[in-house]
Amino acid sequence: MRPILVAVILALLLGACARLSSTEAGAGDPGTGDAGASEPVGCGQSPAEVPADADPDDPVSYTPCDDDPGAIDPGPTPVTPRPGMVDVRAREFDSVEVSDDGLTLTVAFYSGVEPCYVLDRVEVEEAAGSVTVTLYEGHEPGDEDFACIEIAVYKSVAVSLDEPLGDREVVDGAAPRE
């Protein structure tokens, strides 16, 4: 009887090991939705439906396609200054794009959500060798007892120049001076 017990235990262990290795490799029956949590998927394909008994620690992923409009970074959200904000302060920007004619700068910056982070104004000082752009941001006036979530929002503002930028340097008026 002892050899039979050992054979049954070995069969159970081998079956468990085979099941574990197929789950780790992402194998499964694609028709049943039992695809395994780490099954690789192609672009635009969502992982198979997660079985009810799946381990909550198993990763689930989605691979976007290059031509998927939701997958491509749409760039910053254009904003228009809204004068009249309170607790206004200068804030740094992240990048500047110059229009083909050199008369418009698109200034991009990371900020927060409104009404907590609102662009109040943009000041531009044009000089012979540089153009200094300073963004000023505050929050909406009124009841200041609103909840402000801490999430980054990529924004941009268009700035018009009197003269084409040419060889002049764009300087961030809110950046620390060296």
The end-to-end CA distance of the chain, in Å, is 85
Predicted confidence at residue 112, as pLDDT, reads 93
- 24 pLDDT band, cuts 50/70/90, is very low
Q: How far apart are CA 79 and CA 96, in angstroms?
A: 15
Q: Which of 50-64, 116-130, 152-166 has the lowest mean pLDDT?
A: 50-64
Q: How far apart are CA 116 and CA 103, in angstroms?
A: 31
Of all residues in the chain, the percent with pLDDT exceeding 70 is 63
Predicted confidence at residue 56, as pLDDT, reads 77
DSSP 136: E
Q: How far apart are CA 135 and CA 121, in angstroms?
A: 6
- 34 pLDDT band, cuts 50/70/90, is very low
Predicted confidence at residue 105, as pLDDT, reads 97
pLDDT digits (tens, 9 = 90+) for 69-107: 555 567 899 999 999 999 999 999 999 999 999 999 999
Residue 161, CA distances (Å) to 20, 37, 71, 107, 166 in order: 65, 54, 34, 12, 11
pLDDT digits (tens, 9 = 90+) for 97-144: 999 999 999 999 999 999 999 999 999 999 999 999 999 999 999 867
- The tokens for 89 are 């302060």
More confident call, 138 vs 60: 138
Predicted confidence at residue 75, as pLDDT, reads 87
